[in-house]
């Protein structure tokens, strides 16, 4: 009788182990699939941005008039901003990803941040050269420490973007990133708390800012 019980317990333990291993394997596979998807989207965004720079060089070389150039650049910049925004939201959904893929995700986030900030710099250039009137917002937040205000601020900014996608160009910056450019921006804008918003590189807003306040400030 005792041997039968031991045999049953061993079978149950083996079954539990197999279920656990299967769950881990499936989770790893799903995470890797998501990572591969994001990598492909970042690759596409990098190609699009490189293509934009090449097109700009070409149009300038054939002396296209400045008004036509500006219309082309603004249209393409808006398209890239839309792509980048969708990708950023998808990346944020990776908070619960398994530890097996964390290194890959951090690498992808770094690539995304660099692309996003290149786009921000490009839009600064458009404002100077093409009278581009979109409102750029640098949104500094933390992904390491608990920050309810950061989450709430992100929701408000998403609402503004959905309401008027061509008016608001939002660039989320994780203050915990180890990238040199992120540290340079924190120092330049004297970012000492989160959330912090930088409006058109001129106005700094610290703490949570409501949608109504932001609409009033940026109207």
In this predicted model, what pLDDT tens digit does every residue of 161-190 receive, in sequence order? 999 988 999 999 999 999 999 999 999 999
Does residue 88 share a domain with residue 26?
A: yes
The pair of three-digit structure tokens given for residue 65, joined into one six-digit string: 């008039």
Indicate whether 42 pLDDT > 70. yes
Pair (6, 107) in one structural domain: yes
Query: 38 and 138 in one domain?
Result: no
127 and 25 both lie in a single domain: yes
CA atoms 188, 194, 198, 203: torsion sign:
negative
- 127 lies in the same domain as 150: no
- Nearest Cα neighbor of 173 from 200, 195, 203, 206 is 195
Same domain, 99 and 16: yes
Do 2 and 103 belong together in one domain? yes
Do 108 and 205 fall within a single domain?
Answer: no
Mean pLDDT of the chain: 82
Residue 191 confidence (pLDDT) above 90: yes
Same domain, 125 and 175: no
What Rg value do the Cα atoms of the chain yield, rounded? Answer: 23
Shared domain for 194 and 121, answered yes or no, is no
pLDDT digits (tens, 9 = 90+) for 102-132: 566 778 889 889 999 999 999 998 988 898 8
Residue 213: other Cβ atoms inside 10 A: 12
pLDDT tens readout for residues 51-110 = 888 888 888 788 668 888 888 888 888 888 888 888 887 777 665 555 545 566 778 889
Same domain, 88 and 145: no
Residue where one domain finishes, among candidates 131, 154, 182: 131
**CB neighbour class for 2 (10 Å; exposed up to 12, middle 13-18, buried from 19):** exposed
Note the pLDDT of residue 102. 54
Number of domains making up the chain:
2
pLDDT of residue 72: 84
- The whole domain housing 152 covers 134-219
């Amino acid at each position: 009788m005792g041997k039968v019980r031991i045999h049953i317990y061993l079978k149950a333990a083996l079954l539990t182990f197999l279920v656990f291993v299967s769950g881990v394997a499936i989770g790893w596979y799903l995470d890797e699939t998501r990572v591969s998807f994001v990598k492909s989207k970042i690759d596409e965004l990098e190609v699009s941005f490189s293509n934009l720079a090449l097109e700009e060089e070409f149009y300038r070389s054939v002396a296209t008039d400045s008004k036509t150039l500006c219309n082309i650049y603004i249209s393409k910049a808006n398209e890239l901003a839309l792509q980048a925004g969708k990708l950023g939201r998808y990346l944020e959904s990776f908070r619960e990803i398994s530890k097996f893929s964390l290194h890959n995700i951090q690498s992808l986030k770094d690539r995304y941040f660099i692309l996003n900030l290149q786009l921000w710099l490009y839009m600064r250039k458009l404002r100077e050269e093409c009278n581009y009137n979109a409102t750029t917002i640098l949104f500094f937040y933390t992904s390491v420490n608990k920050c309810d205000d950061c989450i709430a601020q992100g929701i408000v900014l998403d609402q503004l973007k959905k309401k008027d996608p061509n008016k608001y160009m939002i660039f989320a910056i994780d203050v915990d990133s180890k990238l040199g450019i992120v540290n340079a921006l924190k120092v330049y804008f004297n970012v000492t708390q989160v959330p912090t918003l930088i409006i058109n590189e001129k106005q700094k807003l610290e703490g949570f800012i409501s949608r109504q306040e932001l609409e009033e400030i940026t109207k």
